[in-house]
Amino acid sequence: MRSERTKEESYMAKLIGIATHVHSKAPITKHQSIQVSLESGLENDFRGQQNPKTQVTLLSAKTWDNICQSLNTSLDWSERRANLLIDDLDFSEGKALIGQHIQVGKLLLEITAETDPCERMEQLCPGLKNALTPNWHGGVRCQVLKEGGIQLGDNVYLLKNF
């Protein structure tokens, strides 16, 4: 991987949240740092072991906050049940993002799909599922390409023309 990036090649944000859950409806555990592997995604997270193409989920903090504000609610980001919260990254490009790479610290991910909102979102707040549905507001799913440890505050790059 190239060590030098230009503004045209990437966009930088920060990792501001890390969360895992051991099974689908399990309580969320938040972390300051965590190991991420090629085989199982985030350490102790059930999602990474199910399908390599959807090991890690990312959510835009800016999008989440805007949607919560529009619904007049203040839900914690972890209610979305995503793994990583990124402060200022937008996934509204939708399908054009598939195949793009995201670097979080030394970790390298490939965007493989949208994270579709489920009925649980509607149970949390009426209208939330519909608000998360357009323009990939619910976030993205990723496959781990290069494993490593990550921690809050790590730089996040959406790599262009990787």
Q: Write out the DSSP string of 72-113.
A: T----GGGG--SEEETT---TTGGGGTT-EEEETTEEEEEEE
Average pLDDT over residues 25-42: 94
pLDDT band at 25 (very low <50, low <70, confident <90, very high): confident
- Average predicted confidence (pLDDT) for the chain: 90
Both tokens of 9, joined, read: 């090649």
Q: What is the pTM of this model?
A: 0.90
pLDDT band at 9 (very low <50, low <70, confident <90, very high): low
Strand order across the beta sheet in which 148-151 lies:
41-42, 33-37, 148-151
Average pLDDT over residues 63-88: 95
**C-alpha to C-alpha distance for 113 and 70, rounded to whole angstroms:** 25
CATH code: domain 10-159 is: 2.40.33.20
Q: Which residue's entry shows tokens 């054009």? A: 96
* CA 144 to chain CA mean position, Å: 12
